[in-house]
Amino acid sequence: RNGDGRAVLRSSVREFLCSEAMHYLGIPTSRAASLVVSDDDVWRDQFYNGNIKKERGAIVLRLAKSWFRIGSLEILAHSGELDLQRRLLDFIIQEHFPSIAMNDSNRYLEFFSMVVSDTANLIALWMSVGFAHGVCNTDNFSLLSITIDYGPFGFMDSYDPNFVPNTSDDESRYKIGNQANVGLFNLSKLLQALKPLLDPRQKQLASQILEGYGEHYYIRFTELFKTKLGLLGENKDDNYLIAFLLKVSLLC
């Protein structure tokens, strides 16, 4: 798409506003510290319809505890740089996962378990506010399970599991109803990257942890929607009610 790596003013304003909104909605996210307008002209085909226009460029200063992503480990594993991958992973654990002991031989397994559960929680939170990220590849998924890389995101105006905010996503790969599945796919790629650092027993346990992702997500999703509906306690019909109301919303 002749990408030049530059941002335009309109998308920068959207990112600034949305990341702050997500923060105050209680959803883990990077934050925008400043927005600077650039003197450079940027040419963009906003709707990918061949109508290219000149726009004002801008730069957003984004803040986060870490910018390490699943792709940060994936690329090192792919290139066989296992020593560097181990050093990076130890650094990430030491800096951002204080509950994991650095002398624990299972530290990578514990790290993976936390990323799996935290990713499930993040995507459930996205779904609870109707947020579609737009480009959920491994390089846009934070290892700290925070929302990063705001681009062609969007919020649903009305419930539609097929909602796609990214006009270039012709196959609807990242439609809002597929975000949980994409999360599982990305975590499977993380596990694949970690496997060279795990022994056979740890690999088996890590696979079992990954299998539990769906349950983590489903439980958190249900909790969030029960809170929205003011449902107290446990009732076997709660899940049916949530599904029914979402279906009604789709038909309206």
Do the Cβ atoms of 35 and 58 come closer than 8 Å? yes
Residue 161 structure tokens: 């599991």
Do the Cβ atoms of 68 and 92 come closer than 8 Å? yes
The C-alpha angle 160, 163, 164, rounded to 5 degrees, equals 175
- Integer Cα distance of 66 and 80 in angstroms: 24
C-alpha 138 chain-centroid distance = 9
238 given a catalytic annotation: no
- Integer Cα distance of 46 and 109 in angstroms: 43
Do the Cβ atoms of 161 and 176 come closer than 8 Å? yes
Q: How many residues does the chain have?
A: 252
Q: How many CA atoms lie within 13 A of 120 on its CB side?
A: 22
Which of 139, 160, 169, 238 does the annotation list as catalytic? 139
Catalytic residues: 139
